[in-house]
Structure 1
Amino acid sequence: MQNTIVAPATPPAISAIAIVRMSGPESLWIINSLLKKPPYWEPQRLYYKKLFFEEELIDDVVLSYWKSPKSYTGEDMVEISCHGNPFIVEKILEACQKRGARLAAPGEFTKRAFLNGKIDLTQAESVIDIIHAGGSLALKSAQALQSGGLSRVLLAIREELIDIVSELEAYIDFPEEDIQPRVGEQIIAKLSEIEKKLQNLLSSASLSRVLKEGFTIVLAGSPNVGKSSLFNALLKENRAIVSPHPGTTRDTIEAECRISSFLVKIVDTAGQRQSVDEIEAEGIRRAKEAVKKGDLIIHLVSAPDPPSSDPFVLDELLPEQRVILVASKADLGIHPLNQERLAVSVVTGRGMEELEEKIKDILTGFFPRDFSYGINSRQAVAIEKVLTAIKRGIMGIREKRLPELISSELRYGLEAIGEVVGFTSSEDILDKIFQKFCIGK
C-alpha cells in the first residue's frame, strides 16, 4: 500500500461532472505537479483550479484534499471533480499515472480502508450492497451493516465467549478439580443465549438473498386465463405475446420490475393442461418447476368461466411460499364460484391497484417487524461454524469432558467470528470480496 492509486469514481458516460479519486502517499505531490500554482492545502476544503499536464490545459476542476488518517482510505487522498467528458477523465488518469500513480484495482480504495482499520470486513462488504440496493429495504439493510450493526452484535458475542473461555481455562491450572455442576449449568445458559442470537442472524440470510436478487413471483394457471396479459400489465410494457389461442406461451418468460420498494422477478409460465405436443409439454414441465421456486404464486382462473372447466390444479406448496388467487378477465363477467378471488381486468384496470397492494403486503410480511439487516452467504458460513462450536461446547460440558477440550471448541468459534469481521482473513478471501467492486470504490 506504499504506492499511490488513481481511478474514476463515476461511470464512463457524458454527464455534468465526473470524479477522479487518488489515494496514497504521493497524492498531494502528484496533484501539485499538475497545477501552475499549488494552494496552501487545508483538508476538506474545496479549491477551484486549472489542471495542466506539460503546459497543456486538461480542464477546470474542483479539488478536495483529505489528510491521513481522516479520509475514506486512511491515507492522503485527493478528489478531482471535472467536466463529465470521458475524454477529460482519461487525460486526468493518464497525467496522474505519468506522475507516478497506478490505476487502482476493483475495490482497492475500500480494501485499503479495511486494511488501514477504517472499517471492518462487514462494513466493507456493505459498500457494494449500498451501490446495488434494489429497493428502500435493501438500502436500509446495507446502511445498517455499514454503520456496524452486524459487527457490534458479533463483537459482543466474541467478548462473551472470551469470558467463558477464560472461566474454563482457569480449571486447566487445577486439573484435580472438575467443573462444578452449578458453574457448568451457568456456562450452558450463557452459551444457549449466544446460540439464539446466532440463529437469529442466520435466519436473516435468506431475507438478504431476496433483498439483493429480488422476490420471484410466478403466474400460474391453465392456458388462456390471462397470465401473459397480467405479466405485461405488472411490467407496464409488452414483453409477452398475448393471443386468444390457448398454448401461446410455451416457455417461461422472466422480467424484473419494482413493486412498491421491492425488486421482483415476474415469471410468466405456459398454461398447464394435458398436451401431446412435445414443445408445449416441455413448457408445462418448466412451468411446474418455476412454481416450486416461486416466493409468491399468483394463481389465475378465467373470471367468467366455472371452476369445473379449469384443468389446472396448484400443487402443494412449501410453507414459506405464498399464494394470491386471482380471477382475471373480470370485464367479461364473474362466475358466482369465482367471487372469493381477487377480480382483475387488465382491460379496464379493475383490481390492479388492489393486486399490487396485496403483493406489497405479502412481500413485506416476509420480514419480521424488527428486521434491520441480512447477512450474506460468506458471513452465514462463518456463523454456522460459530454455532457448531457453541453446540459442541454445550455437549462437552454436559458430557463432563476436559476443560481444555471444551475451550478448544469455543476458540474455534472465536476464530470464525474473526473471519466475519476480518480479524483472520486470508489474502485470497479479501481478493474474492473486493474484486466484485467497481474500479474507483
Structure 2
Amino acid sequence: MVDTIIACSTPLGQSGVAVIRISGIEALDTILSFCSKKVLIPRKITFSKLYSDEDLVDQVLLCYMPGPKSFTGEDVVEVFCHGNPIIVEKIIDCCIQKGVRLARHGEFSRRALENKKLSLLQAEALHSLIHAKSIEGVHLANKGLVGELDDVCVRFKSKTLDFCAELEARLDYPGDDLGYMSDRVLKEEMFDLAKKAEGIADGWRAGRQKIYGAKVALVGPVNAGKSSLFNQLVQQERALVSNIPGTTRDVVEKSIILNGIEISFWDTAGVREETQDPLERAGMELGFKMVHDADLILLVSSLNNHKESEMQQIAEQIKSKQCLKVGTHYDVNEGLNVDVECRIDSISGKGIDVLKEMISAKIQASAPGMSTLLNSQRQHELFLNLSRHLKTSAHLLDELGPAIAAEELTFALEKIAQLSGHDTREEILSHLFSKFCIGK
C-alpha cells in the first residue's frame, strides 16, 4: 500500500492562513479521527474544529477531494488553518500519530506525475510558476502548465515516428511499392524538423531570464569604485567601501527588479597583479569563476585612476561575455578620453539611472523578442540533442543506408521520451503498421 503523506503547502512563518495537504488512501479517515465533523462532502469547504485529546487545536476549513479527481490522483484533504507554525506543527503531529508520514520534497507532484495527472513537462512548469522572477516568467510557466510544450513534443514524436516508419518499411518490404519518399525529400524533412528543435532550444536564454532573472557581475581593478557602484545600483549599503586595495574579497550579491525582470548584481573582488595575499587572490579567482555564469559584465574602471594593464587582463578573461564598460568618478574627470559606454559618479549617484536603462536594454537585447516554451536547462539540452540526432540520421541515410539512419532516429525518440516522461521505443512497430497498412 502507498503511504499517506502530509506536508504544509504554504511557507512556514506567521500568516493569516496556512494550508496543510494530506494525500493517500488514509487521508479522509485520518482527519475525521480528530475533527468535529463525522462526514466531509467531497469538494465542499467545511468548517470544523480539530482536537488533540480534548484540547482544541484550531478552528479550520477542510476540503476533501477523492481521487482520481485531485491534484495527486489520490484521496486528498486540504486543511486551511491559522498561520501559526505551532498550530501547523501540532496538526501535522496529530496526523503522524495516526500513521501518516511527512512528505518528501516534491512528493505530491511526483505522485501527480505517476498517476498521470501531470506530465513531466507540466511538473517542471509548475516548479517554474512557483519560482518565476517576472510576470513574463509566470506567463511562460503557465504555457507549460496548460500543456503547450507537451503538444509540441507530440508533434515532434509523430513526425519522427513517420521517419522511422518510412525507413523500417524500406528495410522490411524492399520490393513493395508503398509510395516511399525520395531520399532527398526525406532528408529535407529531417533537417527541417532538426532546425525547429534547435530553434526551440535557442529560446532557453530568454526563458531562463524570465523565470530565474538575469545575473550581472561587476568586474574591474581594485579601487575602481565597484562596491560604491554596487551600493548605488541596489540602493543599499551591502558592500564595504574603502580606499584600501583588496577590501572586497568575497562575492557580494543583491537582487532588484528592473523593468519587470529580477536582476542579481554581483560585486566581485578587485583585480590587481601585484597582490601576494592568498585570500585576495582566492577572491579574484572566485570572481572570475562566477563571471562565466553572468548574463552581463559591468567592466568598471576609474576615470580618476585608469589601470590599463589590469583592464587588459580582465578583458582577456571575459572576452566571450557580453560587456558594458562603465567609468566611475565622473565628477573628477568628466572630459577624460577613456573608452567607456557610461560615466557615473558612485558617490552622488549621477548617471546611475542612465546606467540602469543601459543594463536593462543589454539584457533584453541578449534575447530580442525570442518566443520560448522552455522552462528548464534539461529541456534545452534535450531539444539540442534531439536536433543533433535528426541531423545525424539524415547524414547517415546517404552514408550508411536506412538501417543505421533508423537506429539513429530511435535515439531522437528517446530524447522526446525523456522530455515528456513517456517511453516511446516500443511504439515504432505499431506506428509502422498503422501508417502503411502493411499485411492488409
**TM-score, normalised relative to structure 1:** 0.83
Per-residue deviation, 1:38: 2.7
* Structure 2 letter corresponding to 1:251: R
The aligned residue for residue 387 of structure 1 is: 387
Check whether the contact 2:206–2:372 (CA below 8 A) recurs between aligned residues. Answer: no
Per-residue deviation, 1:309: 8.1
The aligned residue for residue 350 of structure 2 is: 350
Map 1:187-336 to 2 at 5 A: 187-208=186-207, 214-245=213-244, 247-249=245-247, 251-260=249-258, 261-275=260-274, 277-279=276-278, 294-303=294-303, 305=304, 312-313=311-312, 315-316=315-316, 321-336=321-336
Structure 1 window deviating more from structure 2 (104-113 vs 215-224): it is: 215-224
Check whether the contact 2:301–2:307 (CA below 8 A) recurs between aligned residues. Answer: no
Q: Supply the distance in 1 between the matched residues of 2:400 and 2:177 (Cα, whole angstroms).
A: 8
* Structure 2 letter corresponding to 1:397: L
Q: Supply the distance in 1 between the matched residues of 2:141 and 2:275 (Cα, whole angstroms).
A: 50
Q: Supply the distance in 1 between the matched residues of 2:289 and 2:191 (Cα, whole angstroms).
A: 39
Count of residue pairs brought into register by the alignment: 421
Query: How has the CA–CA distance of structure 1 residues 85 and 424 changed in structure 2, closer, same or farther, with 3 Å as cutoff?
Result: same
Check whether the contact 1:259–1:356 (CA below 8 A) recurs between aligned residues. Answer: no
Q: Supply the distance in 2 between the matched residues of 1:386 and 1:422 (Cα, whole angstroms).
A: 15
* Structure 2 letter corresponding to 1:383: F
Query: How has the CA–CA distance of structure 1 residues 308 and 16 changed in structure 2, closer, same or farther, with 3 Å as cutoff?
Result: closer
The C-alpha deviation readout for 1:298-318, integer Å capped at 9, x for no partner, is 233334x48698863352576
Confirm whether residue 79 of structure 1 aligns to residue 78 of structure 2. yes
The aligned residue for residue 428 of structure 2 is: none
3-state secondary structure, aligned to 2:219: strand
Map 1:172-191 to 2 at 5 A: 172-176=171-175, 183-191=182-190
Identity within the alignment, %: 30
The C-alpha deviation readout for 1:83-134, integer Å capped at 9, x for no partner, is 1122222222222233343322221111111111111001112222222223
Query: How has the CA–CA distance of structure 1 residues 332 and 406 changed in structure 2, closer, same or farther, with 3 Å as cutoff?
Result: closer
Per-residue deviation, 1:182: 5.3
Structure 1 window deviating more from structure 2 (316-325 vs 13-22): it is: 316-325
Query: How has the CA–CA distance of structure 1 residues 51 and 278 changed in structure 2, closer, same or farther, with 3 Å as cutoff?
Result: closer
* Structure 2 letter corresponding to 1:140: H
The C-alpha deviation readout for 1:199-234, integer Å capped at 9, x for no partner, is 123224455555566533232334333211101212
Check whether the contact 1:134–1:263 (CA below 8 A) recurs between aligned residues. Answer: yes
The aligned residue for residue 26 of structure 1 is: 26
* Structure 2 letter corresponding to 1:417: I
Q: Supply the distance in 2 between the matched residues of 1:405 and 1:340 (Cα, whole angstroms).
A: 55
Q: Supply the distance in 1 between the matched residues of 2:299 and 2:238 (Cα, whole angstroms).
A: 20
Per-residue deviation, 1:76: 2.1
Query: How has the CA–CA distance of structure 1 residues 90 and 223 changed in structure 2, closer, same or farther, with 3 Å as cutoff?
Result: closer
The aligned residue for residue 406 of structure 2 is: 407
The C-alpha deviation readout for 1:405-433, integer Å capped at 9, x for no partner, is 433322232222111111139xxxxxxxx
Check whether the contact 1:275–1:281 (CA below 8 A) recurs between aligned residues. Answer: no
3-state secondary structure, aligned to 2:315: coil
3-state secondary structure, aligned to 1:171: helix
Query: How has the CA–CA distance of structure 1 residues 80 and 68 changed in structure 2, closer, same or farther, with 3 Å as cutoff?
Result: same
Pairwise CA RMSD: 3.2
Query: How has the CA–CA distance of structure 1 residues 270 and 64 changed in structure 2, closer, same or farther, with 3 Å as cutoff?
Result: closer
Q: Supply the distance in 1 between the matched residues of 2:22 and 2:4 (Cα, whole angstroms).
A: 7
* Structure 1 letter corresponding to 2:224: V
Q: Supply the distance in 2 between the matched residues of 1:321 and 1:103 (Cα, whole angstroms).
A: 45
The aligned residue for residue 109 of structure 1 is: 108
Structure 1 window deviating more from structure 2 (278-287 vs 21-30): it is: 278-287
Q: Supply the distance in 1 between the matched residues of 2:83 and 2:272 (Cα, whole angstroms).
A: 56
Per-residue deviation, 1:71: 1.4
Ranges in structure 2 where 5+ consecutive residues have no aligned partner: 425-440
Per-residue deviation, 1:196: 0.9
Q: Supply the distance in 1 between the matched residues of 2:338 and 2:122 (Cα, whole angstroms).
A: 51
Per-residue deviation, 1:72: 0.9
Per-residue deviation, 1:82: 0.8
3-state secondary structure, aligned to 1:190: helix
* Structure 2 letter corresponding to 1:253: V
The aligned residue for residue 421 of structure 1 is: 420
3-state secondary structure, aligned to 2:372: coil
Q: Supply the distance in 2 between the matched residues of 1:333 and 1:221 (Cα, whole angstroms).
A: 18
Q: Supply the distance in 1 between the matched residues of 2:176 and 2:92 (Cα, whole angstroms).
A: 68
Query: How has the CA–CA distance of structure 1 residues 424 and 272 changed in structure 2, closer, same or farther, with 3 Å as cutoff?
Result: same
Query: How has the CA–CA distance of structure 1 residues 100 and 223 changed in structure 2, closer, same or farther, with 3 Å as cutoff?
Result: closer
Confirm whether residue 122 of structure 1 aligns to residue 121 of structure 2. yes
The C-alpha deviation readout for 1:165-218, integer Å capped at 9, x for no partner, is 222222233234699995222211221121012112322445555556653323
The aligned residue for residue 160 of structure 1 is: 159
The aligned residue for residue 363 of structure 1 is: 363
Q: Supply the distance in 2 between the matched residues of 1:293 and 1:86 (Cα, whole angstroms).
A: 37
Q: Supply the distance in 1 between the matched residues of 2:338 and 2:195 (Cα, whole angstroms).
A: 45
Per-residue deviation, 1:41: 0.5
* Structure 1 letter corresponding to 2:111: R
Q: Supply the distance in 2 between the matched residues of 1:238 and 1:211 (Cα, whole angstroms).
A: 27
Check whether the contact 2:205–2:367 (CA below 8 A) recurs between aligned residues. Answer: no
Check whether the contact 1:168–1:404 (CA below 8 A) recurs between aligned residues. Answer: yes
**TM-score, normalised relative to structure 2:** 0.84
Q: Supply the distance in 1 between the matched residues of 2:249 and 2:77 (Cα, whole angstroms).
A: 53
Structure 1 window deviating more from structure 2 (210-219 vs 351-360): it is: 210-219
